Chain A
Amino acid sequence: MKKKLAILVILILMIGAAFVITTPAEAGVKPTTVVYNIYATDGYIRLVDGTPLYIYGFVGGRKGEPITFMPSYDPISGIQPANVTLAGGAPDPTGGPVIGDELQLQGQAQFPAPVIYATSDDVVEIRLKNLGVYAQPTAPNDPHSIHLHGLDVDAANDGVPETSVGAVPANLCYDGVTSNDCSANGGSAPGAGNVVVYMFHQKQASTYLYHCHQEADIHVQMGMYGALVIYNPGDAARLTGPGRGQGGTIYGFKYDKDYIVMLSEFDVRQHTDEEGTYAPSVETFMDSGGDTITVPVGTDPMTWNVVEYKPQYWMINGLSFPNTIHLDVPGVFNYAQWIEAYPNYDALVTGSVSTTTNPSQQFWKTPGEKVLIRMINIGFETQPMHMHGFHFKILGSDQRAWKWANTITWGKPTPFGFGLEKNTITIGSGETYDIMVDFGQQASNAPQYAPNAADPSSGDFLTMWPGSTFGGVQTRYDPANGNAPVVNTDTGQPVIPDAGDPFNPVTYVGGPAVSQLIPFHNHDDYKATNNGVYPGGMFTMLVILP
Chain B
Amino acid sequence: MAKTSPQKNSQKLAVPLFGAVFLVVIVAAGIGIARGAQPKSQDAPEAQKILDVQAHMPFQVLIPAYMPRDFIRGDVEIALDDVGPGGEPMIQLSYRTRNGETLFLKEWVPINPEKEILASSRPVETKWGQGWLLRQSESLAALWVDIGPLRASIYSPDAGVISPEELLEMAETLGPASNRQVFSFSLEMPTVREVEPPPPFEVPINEDGIQEITLVVTPGGYSPVRFSVRQGIPVRLIFRQLGQVGCGNVLIFPTDPENTTALTLESASDKKILEFTPSVVGDFHFTCSHQMYRGMMKVVP
Which residues of A line the B interface, CB within 8 A? 23-26, 30-33, 35, 63-64, 91-96, 121-123, 125, 127, 140-143, 152-154, 157-167, 169-170, 172, 174, 176, 189-191, 193-203, 214-215
Q: Contacts A154-B135, A158-B120, A162-B197 hold; do A201 and B220 have CB atoms under 8 A apart?
A: no
10 A-B pairs with the lowest CB-CB distances in the bound complex, closest first? A25-B100, A95-B115, A95-B112, A92-B87, A201-B157, A201-B140, A143-B219, A31-B102, A198-B119, A176-B242
The answer, among B115, B139, B157, B294, for a CB contact under 8 Å with A31, is B157
- Give A197 to B246 CA distance when docked, in angstroms: 25
Q: Can you show 29 pairs from A to B with CB atoms below 8 A apart?
A: A24-B100, A25-B99, A25-B100, A33-B82, A63-B82, A63-B83, A95-B114, A96-B112, A121-B102, A121-B157, A123-B104, A140-B244, A143-B219, A143-B220, A160-B122, A160-B123, A160-B194, A160-B197, A161-B221, A163-B132, A166-B120, A169-B220, A176-B243, A189-B218, A189-B243, A196-B119, A199-B155, A215-B244, A215-B246
- Give A202 to B246 CA distance when docked, in angstroms: 32
Q: Is the CB of B86 within 8 A of A35?
A: no
Interface: B92 (CB within 8 A): yes
Q: Is the CB of B197 within 8 A of A157?
A: no
- Give A203 to B136 CA distance when docked, in angstroms: 11
Interface centre among B87, B96, B246 (most CB of A within 10 A): B87
Q: Is the CB of A166 within 8 A of B119?
A: yes
- Give A200 to B194 CA distance when docked, in angstroms: 21
Interface residues of B in 146-173 (CB under 8 A from A): 155, 157, 159
Interface centre among B119, B142, B155 (most CB of A within 10 A): B119
Q: Is the CB of B94 within 8 A of A32?
A: yes
Chain A residues within 8 Å of B218, by CB: 169, 172, 189-191
Q: Which chain A residue has the least Cβ–Cβ distance from B157?
A: A201
- Give A196 to B132 CA distance when docked, in angstroms: 13
Least Cβ–Cβ distance between A185 and chain B, in angstroms: 12
Chain B residues within 8 Å of A141, by CB: 243-244
Chain A residues within 8 Å of B115, by CB: 95-96, 193-195
Least Cβ–Cβ distance between B250 and chain A, in angstroms: 16
Interface: B117 (CB within 8 A): yes
Contact size range, B: 35 or more
The answer, among A32, A123, A172, A194, for a CB contact under 8 Å with B243, is A172
Q: Which chain A residue has the least Cβ–Cβ distance from B240?
A: A176
Least Cβ–Cβ distance between A478 and chain B, in angstroms: 44
Chain B residues within 8 Å of A169, by CB: 218-220, 243
- Give A158 to B121 CA distance when docked, in angstroms: 7
Q: Is the CB of B142 within 8 A of A199?
A: yes
Interface: B118 (CB within 8 A): yes
- Give A158 to B122 CA distance when docked, in angstroms: 8
Q: Is the CB of A157 within 8 A of B82?
A: no
Q: Is the CB of A159 within 8 A of B122?
A: yes
> Other than the known A143-B219, A169-B243, A195-B116, what 14 A-B pairs have Cβ atoms closer than 8 Å?
A23-B100, A26-B100, A30-B94, A30-B96, A92-B86, A94-B112, A96-B111, A127-B85, A143-B220, A165-B117, A193-B115, A198-B120, A201-B157, A202-B139
Q: Contacts A32-B94, A157-B120 hold; do A95 and B139 have CB atoms under 8 A apart?
A: no
Interface: B137 (CB within 8 A): yes
Q: What total of A-B pairs shows CB separation below 8 Å?
A: 175
- Give A13 to B77 CA distance when docked, in angstroms: 34
Q: Contacts A24-B99, A162-B225, A201-B136 hold; do A195 and B155 have CB atoms under 8 A apart?
A: no
- Give A32 to B113 CA distance when docked, in angstroms: 25
Interface residues of B in 87-145 (CB under 8 A from A): 87, 92, 94, 96, 99-100, 102, 104, 106, 110-123, 132, 134-137, 139-140, 142
The answer, among B84, B118, B142, B242, for a CB contact under 8 Å with A165, is B118
Interface: B53 (CB within 8 A): no
- Give A199 to B194 CA distance when docked, in angstroms: 20
Least Cβ–Cβ distance between B131 and chain A, in angstroms: 11
- Give A162 to B224 CA distance when docked, in angstroms: 10
Chain A residues within 8 Å of B140, by CB: 123, 199-201
Q: Is the CB of B87 within 8 A of A94?
A: yes
Q: Is the CB of A95 within 8 A of B85?
A: yes
Interface: B58 (CB within 8 A): no
The answer, among B99, B134, B219, for a CB contact under 8 Å with A199, is B134
Q: Which chain B residue has the least Cβ–Cβ distance from A32?
A: B94
Chain B residues within 8 Å of A176, by CB: 241-243, 268-269
Chain A residues within 8 Å of B83, by CB: 63, 92
Q: Is the CB of A94 within 8 A of B86?
A: yes
Interface: B16 (CB within 8 A): no
Interface: B179 (CB within 8 A): no
Q: Which chain A residue has the least Cβ–Cβ distance from B246?
A: A215
What 0/1 pattern do residues 182 to 223 of B give for CB contact below 8 A with A?
Answer: 000000000000100110000000000000000000111101
- Give A160 to B118 CA distance when docked, in angstroms: 13
- Give A238 to B198 CA distance when docked, in angstroms: 45
- Give A376 to B97 CA distance when docked, in angstroms: 37
The answer, among A158, A166, A191, A195, for a CB contact under 8 Å with B85, is A195
Q: Contacts A169-B243, A176-B268, A191-B220 hold; do A197 and B117 have CB atoms under 8 A apart?
A: yes
The answer, among A95, A160, A165, A200, for a CB contact under 8 Å with B110, is A95
- Give A93 to B120 CA distance when docked, in angstroms: 19
Interface centre among B81, B137, B223, B242 (most CB of A within 10 A): B242
Q: Is the CB of A92 within 8 A of B219?
A: no
Interface centre among A32, A93, A199 (most CB of B within 10 A): A199
Least Cβ–Cβ distance between A138 and chain B, in angstroms: 12
Q: Contacts A25-B99, A189-B243 hold; do A122 and B220 have CB atoms under 8 A apart?
A: no
Chain B residues within 8 Å of A160, by CB: 122-123, 194, 197
Chain A residues within 8 Å of B92, by CB: 33
Least Cβ–Cβ distance between A118 and chain B, in angstroms: 11
